[in-house]
Amino acid sequence: MIKLNFDVKRHILNNGLEVITINKDSQIAAINLGVKVGALYENMAEKGISHFIEHTVFKGTETRNDEQLNEELEALGGEYNAYTDYDVTVYTISCLMEEFENAVELLGDMIINPKFEAEEIEKERGVILSEIKTSKDDIEDFSFKNVNKIAFNESPLKYEVIGLEENVSRFTRDEIKSYYDKYYTPKNSVISIVSALSHEDAIRLVEEKFKEWNGEKPEPLKMIKESNKEIIKVSYKKDIEQSTMVYLYTFNELGKGEELPLRILNHRLGESSNSLLFREIREKRGLAYDIYTHLEITKNIKTLYIYTAVSEENIDETKEAIDKTLKDIVDGKIEIGDKDLQIMKKVHKTAVISTLEDSAELCNYMLHQALEDEDIFEFVKDMDRLNNLDTAKISEVSKIVLKNPTIHILKSN
């Protein structure tokens, strides 16, 4: 049983903005603001605009220019950041409690009053184009992009969050402002706060700093949920020392009750330094320095990746070893036994408690649960489910997920 050292309340402000206040005895406060928009919402002409807006929001407001805004954010003495994903754009600030009111005021100004000055847009255009070019030099990043490209015909996952170079090169201020006006509204956003403030004081603070924000909720979009194609493709890149291999699985049909067993399977398969794939590929065979899995489970995205980098002469043996390990799991020749399950339960519990004790992590978790329209106390249910989970359920999930992969192999030419 997890003992909670905080209290949570949910509120809807008069302008439709949902605010989650988390009262916690902590000297570190955090505020996250999430907008329900990302790469999944973009048509072909818009690919990259959500990410572009995230950058330009930091480039000045109607009352603060770029330098003033970022100097004041820096003066908070904490951390501030933002990220764009496929289905959300999130802005985060964590700082000492004594600076928290300033943090909320700055975030409100950024979100409500971005200036989108033409000169700053041009500067940031260059930054993002440089970011796109840099990602092409990163063979790990490049490999993940390529497996997504070949895996799908229609899914937005086919395209990177950062967008298409030709789009980024031509976005106009009017296009940026129009997209911002459509999605950056209080009724399409959620704020989460972790602080020592009472719920009442936290709400008064947010109401004061965000009361001028207005706008309606955009019309919902029909999301494309496409299964990956079962295909193996080899591509080539100049001047690389190692080849890479990426497996991609989708599991759109997986039920909510099967997500936790999959998380446990994923950890045993490729998340730890004693994982099945790590021991087989690195420890037993010495084929690669590292091999890992990456699991994504949201309302609109359900993907599992396996990644490794090996010498070209070891590609075939590595693929055979990965395939055999996966097949042996599905066929029950490799069992995730009770001992493994007990360890996984401890690992999961440790991860949950670590999140709950860290103000920034707790703030982020609650935000994403609300943005996904999920129970913000899902972690409590997960612990109950974990105590009742058996190895048979994990085996069942492996049979659902570990089939028909898209495989991309990158070689030097």
What is the distance between the alpha carbons of residues 317 and 391, in angstroms, rounded to a whole number?
Answer: 29
Determine the distance from the C-alpha atom of residue 258 to the mean position of all C-alpha atoms in its chain, rounded to a whole number: 20
Q: Which residue has the higher pLDDT, 340 or 183?
A: 183
Distance of CA 218 to the CA centre of its chain: 22
Binning pLDDT at 50, 70 and 90, where does residue 344 land? confident
Domains and CATH numbers, the chain: 6-210 (3.30.830.10), 231-412 (3.30.830.10)
The first and second tokens of residue 347, run together, are 């690992």
pLDDT-derived band of residue 1, with 50, 70 and 90 as boundaries?
low
Residue 208 has pLDDT above 90, yes or no: yes
Instruction: Give the whole-angstrom CA distance, residue 334 versus residue 325.
Output: 8
pLDDT at 336: 83
Kindly report, residue by residue over 6-24, the tens digit of the pLDDT: 999 999 999 999 999 999 9
**Strand 28-35, strand 89-96: pairing:** antiparallel
Mean pLDDT computed over 335-358: 86
Beta-carbon neighbour count of residue 89 at 10 Å? Answer: 25
**Res 16: pLDDT:** 98
384 band by pLDDT with thresholds 50, 70 and 90: confident
Read off the pLDDT of each residue in 81-89 and give the average, rounded to a whole number: 97
Instruction: Give the up-direction half-sphere exposure of residue 130: CA atoms within 13 A in the CB hemisphere.
Output: 6
How confident is the prediction for the chain on average, in pLDDT? 95
Mean pLDDT of 104-122: 97
Question: Rounded to 5 degrees, what are φ and ψ at 372?
Answer: -85, 0
| In the predicted structure, residue 182 carries a pLDDT above the cut 80 | yes
Residue 340 confidence (pLDDT) = 83
Rounded to an integer, the average pLDDT of 98-122 is: 97
Q: What is the mean pLDDT of residues 119-132?
A: 96
56: its two tokens: 């330009």
Whether the predicted pLDDT of 2 surpasses 80: no
Residue 349 has pLDDT above 90, yes or no: no
Q: What is the pLDDT of residues 262-302, one digit of tens each?
A: 999 999 999 988 899 999 999 999 999 999 999 999 999 99
pLDDT digits (tens, 9 = 90+) for 213-246: 999 999 998 889 999 999 999 999 998 999 999 9
Nearest CA among 216, 269, 256, 223 for reference residue 395: 269
